[in-house]
Chain A
Amino acid sequence: MTEKITVALAGNPNVGKTSIFNAITGSKQHVGNWPGVTVERKMGKRKHKDIEMQIVDLPGTYSLTAYSLDEIIARDFIIEEKPDIVVQVIDATNLERNLYLTTQLMELGTKLIIALNMTDLALAKGDSIEVQKMQEFLEVPVISTIGSRGGGIEDLLDSITEEIHRTRTNENVFVYDGEIEKSADELGNVLADDPYYSHYPSRWFSMKLLEGDENIIKKAKESGNYPQIRKILQRTDADSFEAKIADQRYKTIQTMLRQVCNINTDHLSGSDMVDRVVTNKYLGIPIFLSLMWAAFEVTFTFATPFMNIIDIFFGWLAETASDVITISWLASLVGDGMIAGVGSVLIFLPNILLLFFMISLMEDSGYMSRAAFIMDKVMSKIGLHGKSFIPLIMGFGCNVPAIMATRTIEDSRDRLITILIAPFVSCGARLPVYVLLAGAFFGRDAGIVIFGLYALGIFVALISAKLMRSTIVKGEDTPFIMELPSYKIPTLKGSILHMWERGKIYLKKAGGIILIGVVGIWLLASIPAPGSGGTFASEEIYGTTDSMIGFIGQIIEPLVAPLGFDWKIAVALMFGVVAKEIVVGSMGVLYGVGDNEDSLTEILAAGAMTPLAGLGLMVFTLLYVPCFACIGVIKRETGSWKWTVFQLLYGTGLAWIFAFVLYQVGSRIGLFA
């Protein structure tokens, strides 16, 4: 009979935890979110020696305090879900800080195995580690692994299967100084009296109380004998205990390290040398920008042929469907609605895959932290983290992968704000709208106008970030404490896996929303307006006054009239939610010139619209509701309809206000008249 066990993978960030996870589970993994939050949870399965293991990848943490969501998730999982075994992945080149987390995991009283990862690098660096001695000292199994090449994984699995049937507890390994121990004992006695606590490892609970851990104190307050606990705590000074506990953990680690390893500190590593260049005072920023250019070119320019393939294929499919299906409304539904909808989901896939491949290279190599280090000063001015810079830059290509790229930002509030402001960065799909309108109305000055729109987008994004930081996404600034890990050569397998995972998430989670949106717009454009007498889904009424969308356009005309727009513009903007470049195409249809952009330019320039209203339309296009694909990923990445709707209303509200002020003030003072 097979036995089923749960194995949790814990460890610091940047220790190769993901490569160990990948090596154990292979392709059998599932990515989702932790319940109630948008922190990602990866799970996988592996069968070894008749034992079926469910592997849960905990968030990478340096400690187990209550100050960060990641840390709370990791420790709650260990305490509440009680995995059968916890494997801590340790970076062998960076033992001291990694073992700090070990001390805390041990106090949790869980069964622990240490995967001493990157042993090859430690060796190359000139360190020597006596694994056997380390094992004796820590009293837990220590297994050498090389995650990137799958080395030591079998040994690790063997060790898990052995350890699972052994009884042992790791409590009390670390002994603190007299005063702390005395208070911990007293607390332990009180806790032992109340069955309420039997769920928690008592020593860990006492230590956390002594450290003044808010989360744990809150839990203690719910119990009957809290007054007794409070009495003990009042005698102690949590602030000094906290420093002492951290200090003594590190001291114990140092004592052990002196006996088990010999670390070569006497050399300038390759990482230090690379850092001298890429964080150089004069060259650091230019190098960063040129690497951004490279990432941008690969993501957007190199993607073109693949996007064309998808485009042509779905165009052909839609046409074939229309030819084959003889019922005309059904042909239109399948062709213009559903197939076009699926196409509009898939068209972003090349961008997303390539961007995540590039991001994975930057993250796995260690450059991402340097990028954040270099750009942090700029981003901190608007209350964000250096890591927010890259998603915003990528937004110039397309907001969809940009919003997905916010996954690299650890702090949830920074991430939320970055997602909410990303749609204001003017993406490539908006450019055709600007080119047409600016060309029609401003002729030789079109370049300046377009540049101004890009600048306005950045301005609105920055101001919004600042505004949101001080209002709706308030809270003290997260301290900026970031490790700059040593550089590693990324593995192709790791990057491809990461890229594939993102692509899958996009298709699964955002695809549905995009599809519904596109088909919804098709319905509106195909249902005849009340009283028009048109035929459902006939070519004659599609998107015209005789269709529902035209009808709605006329109803909402008074809303957009103060901006200098008529109902046709209102309809074109509604179509624009499918994809912003469609604004141009639908204006062509509505002004009766079809696909011919030159004629559209002529009609507009001849006075179908004033230049001022044209400028207003460009501003409106920049700021209003992003496209369905964007809405889909905002929902997926914020995990909340509330924030998604907020972004839509906020953006559209801003668009309206900007266009309103521009048109009203502009026409008073005779701007472009």
Chain B
Amino acid sequence: MEQHYGKTEITFAALAGVLYTILGMYHIAEGIGIDIGIYEGMAGSLFIPGDILGGFCLVVTGGVFLYGFKEMMQGINAGVSFLYVGILMSLLFMMVYLLIMGGNLLDSFIVPQDYEGWSIMETFRPGIYLGILSLAGILYWKDRFSLNEVLVFREGA
């Protein structure tokens, strides 16, 4: 059978997998109060909150990418579907974080007294900047995500 992925797919899955997993674990570590930063204020500079559940979601997304990486390395054709689903998941979480950001911004106009000294960047999250990677991915592989109502990956294995 013809192979449906190449080096780009494998590299993308590995990179996204590692980034999501590490940053997700960093969220969890912050959430339970363990400082794993390499330098002072590292969590802050990466916009990492103490958020166990949010961290879990990023770790899961990373896990999906890494599972795809593993399968593609083993030569399993359908392994590439983990890459596609990973991209969709990361875009979904990016959207959720952006909505929360927008919601907070709106709230800061409604009840300004609760938001003294608050800046919008306080709700900026790794889920947003990591999503840019997937945004690039979906644009690069846009012909594989057919918008024909059904998710037909045209080059299905």
A contacts B directly (C-beta below 8 A) = yes
**Considering the chains assembled together, what is the distance between the CA atoms of A547 and B85 in angstroms?**
61
Enumerate A123-159 residues with CB–CB distance to B below 8 Å.
Answer: 124-125, 148
- Among A73-81, A221-229, A285-293, the one that faces the other chain is A285-293
Q: How far is the CA of A312 from the CA of B85 in the complex (A)?
A: 41
CA distance A354 to B119 in the complex (A): 26
Contact of A290 with B149 at beta-carbon distance under 8 Å, contacts A268-B156, A273-B156, A302-B100 already known: no
Main secondary structure of the interface of A (DSSP, over half): helix
Are A268 and B61 interface neighbours, CB within 8 A? no
Interface string of B97-140 (1 = CB under 8 A from A): 00110111011001100000000000000000000000000000
Indicate with 1 or 0, residue by residue over A243-287, a CB within 8 angstroms of chain B CB atoms: 000000000000000000000000111111110111010110011
Partner of A125, one of B54, B84, B152, B157: B152
Residue A30 at the chain B interface, CB threshold 8 Å: no
With A277-B64, A290-B57, A294-B92 as given contacts, are A305 and B103 in contact (CB-CB < 8 Å)? yes
The minimal Cβ–Cβ distance linking A287 to chain B, given in whole angstroms, is 6
Interface residue? B67 (CB, 8 A): yes
Task: Judge whether A290 and B56 touch: CB under 8 Å.
Answer: yes
| Residues on A with beta carbons closer than 8 Å to the beta carbon of B89 | 287, 290-291
Nearest B residue to A121 via CB reads: B150
Interchain CA distance A514-B147 in the complex, whole Å? 43
Q: Does A472 contact B (CB under 8 A)?
A: no
Cβ contact within 8 Å between A305 and B107:
yes
Q: Is B141 an interface residue (CB 8 A)?
A: no
Which one of A172-180, A481-489, A534-542 is at the interface?
Answer: A481-489
> A120 and B151: CB pair below 8 A?
no
Residues in chain A near residue B78, CB distance under 8 A: 268, 273, 276
Write out, one digit per residue, whether chain B residues 67-99 have a CB within 8 A of any chain A CB (1) or not (0): 100000000001001101100010011001001
Shortest CB–CB separation between residue B131 and chain A, in angstroms?
13
With a cutoff of 8 Å between Cβ atoms, the chain A residues found around residue B99 in the complex are 297-298, 302
Assess whether B110 is in contact with A287, with CB atoms less than 8 Å apart: no
Residues of A within 8 A of B93 (CB): 290, 294
- Cα-based distance from A436 to B123 in the complex (angstroms): 27
Quick one: which of A267, A268, A276, A301 contacts B103, CB cutoff 8 A? A301
Chain A contact-residue range equals 35 or more
A309 CB within 8 Å of chain B:
yes
Residues A290 and B81 in contact in the complex (CB < 8 Å), given A308-B110, A309-B110: no
B56–A289 touching, CB < 8 Å: yes
Cβ-defined contact, A121 with B149, below 8 A = yes
Q: Are A267 and B156 in contact (CB under 8 A)?
A: yes
| Contact (A273, B153) CB under 8 Å given A293-B54, A312-B111 | yes
- Residues of chain A within 8 A (CB-CB) of B146 are 124, 270
Instruction: Decide: A283 near B103, CB < 8 A? Known: A269-B150, A487-B150, A488-B149.
Output: no
Write out the residue numbers on chain A whose beta carbons fall within 8 Å of the beta carbon of B102.
302
CB-contact partner of B60 in A125, A290, A297, A304, under 8 A: A290
Main secondary structure of the interface of B (DSSP, over half): helix
Residue of B82, B96, B149, B153 touching A298 (CB-CB under 8 A) = B96
When distances are taken between beta carbons in the complex, the residues of chain B under 8 Å from A283 are 60, 63-64, 67
Q: Could you say which residues of chain B place their CB within 8 Å of the CB of A268?
A: 78, 156-157
With contacts A283-B64, A305-B106, A305-B107 taken as known, whether A273 is within 8 angstroms of B150 at the C-beta atoms is: no
Tell me the nearest residue of chain A to B156, going by C-beta: A268
Contact A302 B67 (CB under 8 A): no
Bound-complex Cα distance A298 to B102 (A): 11
CB distance from B2 to the nearest CB of A (A): 13
Are A270 and B152 closer than 8 Å at their CB atoms?
yes
B8 to chain A: which residues have CB within 8 Å? none
Complex interface residues of chain B between 7 and 25 (CB less than 8 A to chain A): none
CB-based contact B57/A120 at 8 Å: no
A118 at the interface (CB under 8 A from B): yes
Name the residue on B nearest A278 (C-beta): B85
CB nearest neighbor in A for B81: A273
Given A124-B146, A298-B99, A302-B100, A271 contacting B64 (CB threshold 8 A): no
* Distance (whole angstroms) from the CB of B87 to the closest CB of chain A: 11
Nearest chain-A residue to B148 (Cβ)? A124
Output the least CB separation between A296 and chain B (Å): 9
Is B42 among interface residues, defined by CB-CB distance under 8 A?
Answer: no
Measured CB to CB, the closest approach of chain A to B81, in angstroms, equals 4
Q: Which among B82, B146, B149 has the greatest number of chain A C-beta atoms within 10 A?
A: B149
- Max count, chain B CB within 10 A of own CB: residue among A120, A148, A302: A302
How long is the Cα–Cα vector from A125 to B148 in the complex, in angstroms? Answer: 10
With a CB–CB cut-off of 8 A, which chain A residues contact B156? 267-270, 272-273
The smallest beta-carbon distance between B13 and chain A, in angstroms, is 12
User: Which of chain A's residues has its CB closest to B68's CB?
Assistant: A277
Report the bound CA distance from A303 to B102 in whole Å: 11
Report the minimum CB–CB distance from B53 to chain A (whole Å). Answer: 5
Do residues A121 and B148 form an inter-chain contact, with CB atoms below 8 A?
yes
Are the C-beta atoms of B152 and A277 separated by less than 8 Å?
Answer: no
Contact A308 B111, beta carbon cutoff 8 Å: yes
Docked pose: A92 CA to B119 CA in angstroms: 52
Min CB distance A105 to B, Å, is 26
| B146 vs chain A, min Cβ distance (A) | 7
In angstroms, Cα B82 to Cα A125, docked, is 21
Nearest B residue to A491 via CB reads B149
Docked-complex contact B110 and A305, CB < 8 angstroms: yes
Q: B63 contacts which chain A residues (CB < 8 A)? A: 283, 286
Min C-beta distance of B65 to chain A, whole Å: 11
CA–CA, A315 and B104, complex, Å: 21
For B106, list chain A residues within 8 Å (CB). 305
8 A–B contacts, CB within 8 A, in A order: A121-B148, A124-B150, A125-B150, A269-B156, A271-B151, A273-B157, A276-B81, A297-B99
In the A-B complex, list the 10 residue pairs whose CB atoms are closest, starting with the nearest: A273-B81, A305-B107, A270-B151, A290-B57, A305-B106, A277-B85, A270-B152, A286-B60, A302-B103, A290-B60
